[in-house]
Structure 1
């Protein structure tokens, strides 16, 4: 027998790290303690039952569908502006062979990470995302620490997303101005001021009501996809060079090593462009509390984003690899923006400016998607009191029903981080590596816990990988372990390595992570307990035969029960 709430359909039999059973919905993996049951004073639909079962109140309007959630995620991915922003990494480290082979190899493993994340999202669709999953799945006693490290790494990656995109967008806008007026040379201060203006615009849009934000991102992402297809067609059709295309043996077989490392390492270093470009597919996880049918639609949006994005991104790599003529000229142009330099090298000026304009519009949509996703992550972590002044940052605006204060915090910090551009291209370039490494470390922690510590005790949601889940997740985790040191390598070594050529990723990402680790040891372990339940709940007696326990978070649990 079980204790059933007839008004909500919730079976009052959860346990710490258990599946919370809802007779009208697929089970979810919950952080609620043994026997805890949320109070319900009103009838709830399926999505609200799920979020309440996870321990949270339904505070957002669920006005994102599968399509609009995918649109935000695809906008965050921003293939065209992302490719434009990171062209110097893919092309500069290993030439055309590194571009085409590097993208294929990296994408195979990135798909493993994405699919494993989607499986977690289906089991626990909450804005906290990976942070929540790490807390629930970690072995007894380690949940708060796993959640703390995952949350901070993920938040740092989310935080640098909009500033890095908007910096690249500002650089492209000023490069377009230089194309129109060759006498104009942008200054770092002008780039910073324009970046700040763009971030303020994105902050305003991300603070609007959910329905308006969903509409904006739907149109922006649709334009993003159409522009991407148009560029993939326009460049090979309109290239001014003769012959139009480089021989395949050169494109696929010639590694132009722009580093002091062996060719194999140089190809691995090109992965930074792939990883940074493809780090936005977790957005549906963070938007799951605003998405209807979340534990099916959100994981589907994750997989759609990584799959479609990976394939179309590779097509764009092929186009650039077959048409570029002089890589050194692209990387060292006075325009200061490799994508603009490349377009001017292979296209007539008017068409190059048209494509650059399309890229700028797509970049604006991408930056706004990054700001949106980051604000939801900040809200979710502030809701669990992770930050100083969390009570302020976690407030949801009563008029817009969106976390406006979290948007304000991210905007202020992003504007300050963009001051790095005043220290030179290498310093501001660290934002791209930080975004890549911090996001994928955060992705890997809960997936590795699920693969290596939970095993077959993991209770799947309605979207899952079946018996292949642990193997797919394991491949993704091993890829991340390989890439963490690679992402920290400078392109030069020995006497060639100067401070202005140093890769500062290990310092700019490592220092904050070391700081929060010390904070944990000194103080945070005393008060931080992981995801903080904010629904009214009470302990009810449960009958032993009805408990469904996955054995996570409690000793001696029987996985077969």
Structure 2
């Protein structure tokens, strides 16, 4: 029988997972390209769903140069996460990293806080994707029914349909998800090229010079000062990269996670940047009247934008369908990742009824699926989606909460590593080195802290109950829930992620101590 060292990459990964305290429960069916394609397709969707906020935040100059700035500024975060992930490649992700990177006195609390930040983040980022896709679907219907002003309850029902569909695909066709990742990557790559060609050729709403497409900046729609308007307009571009750390939640389904996950993280931003540029440039050079786009029913201008640029309803619908398809693929992918993160945190006995939500069952296609975690994630999304019935800007709140929580969960292990003088991760397989590592880690923490502030700001002033950004309210609400649950249950029963190797060492030391006493 082969040892783990001489076996396949999956055997080695299984052995490494055991050393981190977990047993292999999910099937390893993914490689580098599956994980990479699983996330790079978010570029076009992330720029399309909150597109109106980019227009409010200054227009073309904000979207184009904000995309360049954010891509450059986010790469240190991706590399910092890649380094830690290479040493601890488990679906437990950031909560496990915090547990391993801080002192024994603080590790339980650090892991608990990070775990709940991660949970709220993955639930709301999944919600934002499916809700954004629902709004895009409504925008597509408006191409042919321009007088129809969808009521909040109607948009909510569309959202329910998109969310349930995304969940059912993941549950019933789990074995096919790696193939779906490849299909969606092909759809996205070909789709943005088709958008580039079609918009550039038709340009029925007129063409703009480079001075407009790359330099037009109008802060009047936001009410903020010009400088702050630019940063408010970064919401679409920063949102696009908000889910990069969720790559870790798929670790236990990757053949060689210690190698493939860090590579995926390292390349996500560069590849996503290229896709985003190909998508944005033709839109900026053929952009219709911005005032018209901002006055569209429902606040989602993508459908009207494509119709005006293509010069016909059929042409606009054809281009719109590409973006809608990307949204559906994103919904399937992000729902899958959210279920894995939920399952892994339940596995550590950190959420109510953990024994229920940590179960893995055999799906109809014969593969292992964390069904109950899928259901929990679905139910929470549907409940939070009800907020839309009371706020027409709920989507920005969902984006803000998701990005805030995930951003905070990403920088916690990085900051803990810096406090530890990067000692624990010096032997990481994907090492950034001492000098470069320090610089990239500090940059990642500072940039993400700035983003967190932006996510909580309203897009326009003066602020009313309908334009208020409720991200901070939802964030505080979940914070109170996690704190109350910690006082009720967590402080007594939460032991943190298992630490198999460390426990073995402690047991061995205890045995030696007992023998010494007996002698």
TM-score after normalising by structure 2: 0.90
From 342, 351, 362, give the equivalent of 2:305.
Answer: 342
The verdict on how the C-alpha distance between 1:513 and 1:310 changes in structure 2, with shifts beyond 3 A counting, is farther
Post-superposition shift, 1:225?
Answer: 2.2
Matches within 5 A, 1:85-484: 85-208=49-172, 210-242=174-206, 244-248=207-211, 251-252=214-215, 254-334=217-297, 336-349=299-312, 350-399=314-363, 400-467=367-434, 468-484=436-452
Q: Is the 8 A contact 1:221 1:365 kept in 2?
A: no
Stretches of structure 2 lacking an aligned partner (at least 5 in a row): 510-519
Measure, in 1, the Cα distance between the counterparts of 2:420 and 2:233.
Answer: 32
CA separation in 1, counterparts of 2:219 and 2:201?
Answer: 26
* Structure 1, unpaired ranges of 5+: 1-5, 10-22, 26-42, 543-561
- State how far apart, in whole Å, the 2-side matches of 1:124 and 1:322 are: 45
| Secondary structure in structure 1 of the residue aligned to 2:79 | helix
Q: Is the contact made by 2:357 and 2:376 (CA closer than 8 Å) also made in structure 1?
A: yes
Q: How many residues align?
A: 503
Q: CA deviation at 1:269?
A: 1.5
Q: State the shift of 1:536 in Å.
A: 13
State the alpha-carbon separation in 2 of the partners of residues 44 and 335 from structure 1: 48
Whether the aligned pair in 2 keeps the contact of 1:325 and 1:345 (CA below 8 Å) is yes
**1:179 Cα shift?**
1.6
Q: 1:514 Cα deviation (Å)?
A: 3.7
* C-alpha contact (below 8 Å) 2:20/2:500 kept by paired residues: no
Q: Is the Cα contact below 8 Å between 2:114 and 2:409 reproduced in 1?
A: yes
Q: Residues 279 and 440 of structure 1 are in contact (CA less than 8 Å); yes or no, is this contact kept in structure 2?
A: yes
Larger mean Cα displacement after TM superposition, 323-332 or 251-260: 251-260
Q: TM-score, normalised by structure 1?
A: 0.84
- Aligned equivalents of 1:518 and 1:108: distance in 2? 39
How many angstroms apart in 1 are the aligned matches of 2:258 and 2:173? 23
Counterpart of 2:498 (choices 527, 532, 538) is 532
Counterparts of 1:295 and 1:133, CA distance in 2: 14
Whether contact under 8 Å (1:238, 1:347) holds in the other structure is: yes
Distance 1:283 1:457, change over 3 A: closer
Deviation at 1:512, TM superposition (A): 1.1
CA contact (8 A) 2:128 2:398 kept: yes
Query: 1: distance between equivalents of 2:425 and 2:45?
Result: 38
Q: Deviation of residue 210 (structure 1)?
A: 4.2
8 Å Cα contact 2:52/2:299 also seen in 1: no
- Give 1:533 deviation, angstroms: 5.2
Contact 1:95–1:257, Cα closer than 8 Å, also in 2: no
Shift of the 44–239 alpha-carbon distance from structure 1 to 2, 3 Å rule, reads closer
Change (3 A) 1:192 1:408: same
- Indicate the residue corresponding to 1:34 in structure 2: none
Q: CA RMSD in A?
A: 2.5
Which of 79, 82, 94 pairs up with 2:46? Answer: 82
